[in-house]
Structure 1
Amino acid sequence: MVSGTPQPVSPERILQLMWGHAAPIIIHAGIHNNIFEELASGPLTIDQLHAKTGASFRGLKALLNALVGLGLLAKDTEGHYLLTSESTTFLVRKSPHYYGELFCHICEQVIPNWLGLAEIVRSGKPALHVDQAEDGAAFFERFVEALFPLNYGAANALAESLCLAQLNAPYSVLDIAAGSGVWSICIAMKSPQVRATVIDLPAVLNVTRRMLSRFGLTDRFRLVAGDMHTADFGKDYQVAILGHILHSEGEIRSRELLAKTYQALAPGGTIAIAEFLVNEERTGPPHSLIFAVNMLVHTEQGDTYSFNEIRRWLEEAGFEHVRPLEVPAPSPLILATKPSA
């Protein structure tokens, strides 16, 4: 016989959520105090780390043990702290997959703005207007380079899907609000025939130039400084990319941007869109719903959208064959084609 007595509800998940802010701040503290860099050379005791980093013994004890608790460090029986495979891959600066600057961005730029969320919800007014040039230039210049490793896997998968290795004629790419240039850089690396036009604010293009120089691609890129809504895109591109752009723009400006991109493409050209997609009911996935709150905090009209919402906008702009492309990222890319005739 099943008892009718209700089972007590555990507070464990609520308590975990209560301390959700702690993990990125702890990781940021580890980066700031060079913990991961020092341990990249090999296991060290707390005394050795104290001598190498200059951080206080008390501070190190709490921080190191918290990083062990988070699974980002290990500790052996002799008291040595060691990197894990995750921290070696993502938190050591020399790694090509270094995500450390993202934690600096979250802790130094994002979290301070989120602290006003209760009043932002009440007023509907963001803490910062990163969708406007005055605020956006300084905001994005500080962290777009950190997004390169985060988007590289998806950008490379897009480049592979275009099958460019056998090109024998020029192939033109438009990268809108390009940031680090990761999307067009990955495409350009597939063939010497690729030529790209990248558009972004002047301050952000300083980062783009640095990345192009790093990959030896400067001579195959044309940089256009300006706001994407007013800049001249040019025309007859084979591919146009909107890499995590629509979420900051809101529906009206996103639809205008898609229509403008349609005009810039050659017949038969492809648009590729990266976004944090939500499901139709807006009940998940959690990271995309949380990112919608981030847009509330940082933009006037920004949001996250479902595949079908963006599909409808694309079809209204004239695109056809709207389809997902599975990539190593939280959400698939969205591709669509401009009709050939």
Structure 2
Amino acid sequence: MDTRITGATKAMAGEKDAAELSPEGIMQLGLGFWASKTLLSAVELGLFTELAAGPLDCETLRSRLGLHERGARDFFDALLALRMLERDGGAYRNTAATDRYLDCNKSTYVGGMLAGAGQRLYANWGSLTEALRTGKPQNGTEDGEDLFEMLFSDPEKVAMFAKAMTGGSLQAAEALARRFPWANYDTFIDIGTAEGRLPVEVGRLHSHLTGGGFDLPPMRPVFEAYVERHALGGRLSFYSGDFLAGPLPSAEVLVMGHILHDWNLEVKRKLLAKAHSALPKGGALIVYDQIIDDERRENAAGLLMSLNMLVNTNGGFDYTRAEGIGWVREAGFAEVRCEHLAGPHSIIVGIK
């Protein structure tokens, strides 16, 4: 697959000059799952973690990963052509990016999201057409069954989901920790925290802050283990609860990252109202998602994420900047602003 910037890749990035795609670009976009599944399988096999210790020749790498000899060389060389691997002579090694982000032993690992995609989302997206016809999720849940009830019923699924959320929030968490004026506040709580990537990143950079993460009870051991690995147990705590059934914990800053898009409009509004009630006067609510541009033309990642909500939830959907700002204002916040954060992510900040 040619990795040069084509009309198809520009369209995925939301660039305006990609209005007319070449036949090659159309084919690359339509068959994009070939490259996607190649990467997902590499993550599932632990290929990049295996190579983190040093380069390996084809036969050694094939043997360590337990692969049949028929497809192994094509598999490795496809990853080379996709710029996921490098090769010197006959030895394969990670690129700088795959070594940093796809070695599961590094704190910068984002492969949890890709592992979850390979194990769960890839199959669900295979039924996108059915979801478009019926409006129903294609994740194996029964009619009316909640996705999170299914995920949180099994400790292994809890751990997998938590790692996926860490991978998906790494870029946004790093940017938010650096750009928000945390010096003006003393306490914060991340709502729907999963492993706690956002609290750890914020706590690591701002030693005056205390707080932690709020999530369902099964997430406690996962959160506490992750926080302890980063030596922040003295300042970051787990707050147990169900934000659909009860109030939110109180702090000067509440964060909702990748939370609102999981729910229908009624629940979105209820969660924002609960945040307003939990904050003190002058407190801040931070919402971040892959917020769609108001013209619904440019942020392809946000629009595709909204389709992901269709496939995986009962009522979730992503939203535009204007919609999000409007809901936050309706919840009672006096000062509301929206700004780009990182990649496809933007934040909406409301001050009580």
Give the TM-score, by structure 2 length.
0.83
Secondary structure of 1:240's match?
Answer: strand
- CA-to-partner distance for each residue in 1:141-188, whole Å, 9 max, x for gaps? 423224335423432433334545697xxx222221111222223333
Deviation at 1:204, TM superposition (A): 2.3
Q: Give the drift of 1:192.
A: 4.6
Instruction: Rate the CA distance shift 1:267–1:18 in 2: closer, same or farther, 3 A.
Output: same
RMSD: 2.5
Match of 1:102 in 2: 113
5+ residue gaps, structure 2: 1-19
Q: Is the contact between residue 153 and residue 327 of structure 1 (CA under 8 Å) also seen in structure 2? A: no
Q: Is the radius of gyration larger for structure 1 or structure 2?
A: 1
Cα distance 1:184–1:34, how it changes in 2: closer, same or farther (>3 A)?
closer
Q: Amino acid of the residue matched to residue 96 of structure 2?
A: S
How far does residue 109 in structure 1 lie from its aligned partner after superposition?
A: 1.0
Summarize the Cα distance change of 1:81–1:127 in structure 2 as closer, same or farther, 3 Å threshold. same
- What is the deviation of 1:234? 3.7
Match in the other structure for 2:219:
204
Q: Which residue of 1 aligns with 2:176?
A: 158
Question: Hey, what's the Cα distance between the residues in 1 that align with 2:258 and 2:165?
Answer: 11
Q: Structure 1, residues 1-21: CA drift from partner, whole Å, max 9, x if none?
A: xxxxxxx98421222123211
Which stretch has the larger CA shift, 44-53 or 172-181?
44-53
Pick from 3, 9, 26: which aligns with 2:38? 26
Scaled by the length of structure 1, the TM-score of the pair is 0.86
- Identity score, percent: 29
- For 1:270, the equivalent position in structure 2 comes to 284
Count of aligned pairs between the two proteins: 326
Hey, what does 2:324 align to over in structure 1? 310
Give the AA of the match of 1:122.
R
Which of 195, 198, 212 lines up with 1:183 in the alignment? Answer: 198
Name the structure 2 match of 1:217. 232
Q: Given residue 280 of structure 1, which amino acid in structure 2 is its aligned partner?
A: D
Counterpart position of 1:5 = none
**Cα shift at 1:304:** 0.8
1:219-246 deviation per Cα after TM superposition (whole angstroms, max 9, x unaligned): 43443333212133243x2101101100
Given that 1:248 and 1:302 are in contact with CA atoms closer than 8 Å, whether structure 2 keeps it comes out as: yes
Q: What does residue 121 of structure 1 align with?
A: 132
Contact 2:113–2:167, Cα closer than 8 Å, also in 1: no
For residues 226 and 137 of structure 2, the distance between their equivalents in structure 1, rounded to whole angstroms, comes to 31
Equivalent position of 1:73 in the other structure: 85
CA distance in 2, matches of 1:312, 1:59: 52
CA gap 1:79/1:152 in 2 versus in 1, 3 angstroms: closer
Judged with a 3 Å threshold, the aligned counterparts in structure 2 of structure 1 residues 190 and 62 are, in CA distance, closer, same or farther, namely closer
Aligned CA distance change for structure 1 residues 51 and 187 (closer, same or farther; 3 Å): closer
Letter in 1 for 2:263: E
TM-superposed CA distance for 1:122, in Å, is: 1.4
The 3 A distance-change label for structure 1 pair 57 and 182 is: same
Distance 1:134 1:149 in 2: 21
8 Å Cα contact 1:145-1:207 kept in structure 2? no
SS at match of 2:275: helix
Give the AA of the match of 2:341.
V
